[in-house]
Amino acid sequence: MRVTASAAASPLAPAWLSVPEDPSRLDAKLWAEDVERGDDGVLRIDGVSVTELAQQYGTPLFVVSERDFRARARTFRDAFDNAFRELCDGVDVFYAGKSFLCTEVAHWVREEGLGLDTCSGGELAVALRAGIPGHRLGLHGNNKSAAEITRAIDAGLGRIVVDSLQEVALVGDLAVQRGRIANVMLRLTPGVHAHTHEFIATAHEDQKFGLSLAADVPADAPTDTASDTPAGRGPADGGGTSPAQRAVADALAHPGIELLGVHCHIGSQIFEPEGFELAAQRLLGFLAAVRDRHGVELPELDLGGGYGIAYTEADEPRPPAEIARAMAGVVGSTCRELGLAVPRISIEPGRAIVGPTTFTLYTAGTTKTVRVDAAASEQGQGAPATHPRRYVSVDGGMSDNARPVLYGADYSAVLASRPPEAAPVLSRVVGKHCESGDIVVRDAYLPEDTGAGDLLAVPGTGAYCWVLASNYNYLTRPPVVAVADGVARLIVRGETEDDLFRRDVQREPATDPGDARP
């Protein structure tokens, strides 16, 4: 049933949020391609209704479209292969496991011909259990343990992404001890400030990841009398005493290391192309400097990922083909200018593949409407104006989606179990945790009669939601259901209270009645 919005926009709403003209319409960019609202007003994914899913699996529930996941994986693979085919015979696409990983998803990654990047021993264990060959795996991390590195070496990983000078020696020495040679890429920080949240911008200097391109010779270092500059200092793109150049020298000299190339990752949830293009230029400049200094052209360059997805109507993600063409243009022109052979390129789209494939299904509980003071600029003379905001509580929260409290992330929400018939009102979807910051969706227009028992669906929760889930307040972590060909199946079992107690060390029963305490 179509309902025309009768309410004006709330002064409390952010400027980007519009009152829906048709509350039953789904914004296609937020959802998997096979999600639709049926004639009865109930949300369906590949023909399976959310009411069926809630009845069978309960809520909260992560619901992922297998077909959409596979399609997005193929789209990235094909788009970058086509754009780079004439430059370097295609691109290696590595799915970033940290965005969402379980054994079944790792199978999808393998079957779609992608590699998989891991950043811990646990993620590596999942990938190996799914049968992904070692040469299609990578291991990241700024503080890898010796056990994690050893496991990666023994598994014959295609790349270990080294993050520090100390790790160059550690990886090389462990490889020698195992009688093997470790395939290594160096993670560099190219000094690119991506336009994203501070906590997920990862290529500027003042953070924990990577090897800096900037020279770090002290101001009072001995000078080269011929050039009047500190001895050994060179340009930031690869000269002198930068940590990055020292790492290259150390890696090339170590008998346990095969240095494949360099890697960078400028951040996550990025829409603007300039950061990616500048990072590519700086890393290619570094590769040219390595060639000039060491006489070696390193054969590989990983440009990371971080491509943004749509969480709200305000987000406009770039199509993979557009990203690929822009990157290929910059890589091709820069290599020509530098006289550099185009290295084999790899990318790491994680969020951009899995994020839109999934929504979280919640059951609404208590609701209330509060009056909120308008902004001072709107109050004028006399008593401050107030405006209503409706709070809708659901049966999950920050334990299944920590991104709003961690990053102030915005999401969207729709009524999923029936047609929206009442007028839309500004609403805030909140969780059940004992925290005032436990907000799932900060601002959404939901039907005024949304109440207990209704199902709400929050799209775009495929990445960094389930993987960040916790047992805060002793809530159990939700299950994950995959839907394909009109059939839903469990791919991650939801926790039970028995699971919560399984790791508790139970005290031994008292043998002396006198030991008992009231």
Residue 198's CATH number: 3.20.20.10
Question: How is the chain split among helix, strand and coil, in percent rounded to 5?
Answer: 30, 25, 45
Say if 36 falls within a structural domain: yes
- Write down which residue in 312, 333, 349 finishes a domain: 349
| CATH number for the domain harbouring residue 441 | 2.40.37.10
Residues 46 and 173 in one domain: no
- Is the separation of the CB atoms in 318 and 64 below 8 Å? no
Count: domains in the chain: 2
Say if 76 falls within a structural domain: no
3-state SS assignment for residue 465: coil
Query: Which residue in 250, 302, 295 sits closest to 96, CA to CA?
Result: 302
- Write down which residue in 318, 349, 380 finishes a domain: 349
Residues 374 and 255 in one domain: no
Residue in 88, 264, 335, 434 annotated catalytic: 434
Say if 281 falls within a structural domain: yes
Residues 315 and 369 in one domain: no
- Write down which residue in 349, 371, 397 finishes a domain: 349
Segments in the chain below pLDDT 50: 1-5, 196-204, 217, 219-239, 376-379
Q: What is the pLDDT of residue 39?
A: 95
Residues 331 and 386 in one domain: no
Q: What is the pLDDT of residue 510?
A: 66
Residues 289 and 384 in one domain: no
Residues 344 and 367 in one domain: no
Q: What is the pLDDT of residue 215?
A: 75
Q: What is the pLDDT of residue 275?
A: 80
Residues 6 or more apart in contact with residue 137 via CB below 8 angstroms:
115, 116, 117, 118, 124, 127, 128, 152, 155, 157, 158, 159
Token code pair at residue 284: 């290619």
* Residue pointed to by tokens 């800096």: 212
pTM, 2 dp: 0.90
Q: Is residue 119 annotated as a catalytic residue, yes or no? A: no
Residues 292 and 424 in one domain: no
Q: What is the pLDDT of residue 251?
A: 98
Q: What is the pLDDT of residue 509?
A: 74
Say if 7 falls within a structural domain: no
- DSSP-derived letter for residue 34 is T
Residues 374 and 335 in one domain: no
Say if 6 falls within a structural domain: no
Say if 77 falls within a structural domain: no
**CA dist., res. 34 & res. 46, Å (int):** 5
Say if 433 falls within a structural domain: yes
Domain that holds residue 246: 90-217+232-349
Q: What is the pLDDT of residue 209?
A: 84
Residues 294 and 188 in one domain: yes
Query: Which residue in 307, 195, 13 sits closest to 5, CA to CA?
Result: 13
Say if 509 falls within a structural domain: no
Q: Which helix H or strand E contains 162, and what residues bound it? A: strand 159-162
**CA dist., res. 439 & res. 287, Å (int):** 45
Residues 245 and 314 in one domain: yes
Residues 360 and 333 in one domain: no
What's the Cα-to-Cα distance from 237 to each of 211, 215, 283, 507, rounded to whole Å? 12, 9, 7, 60
Q: What is the pLDDT of residue 266?
A: 83
Residues 340 and 368 in one domain: no
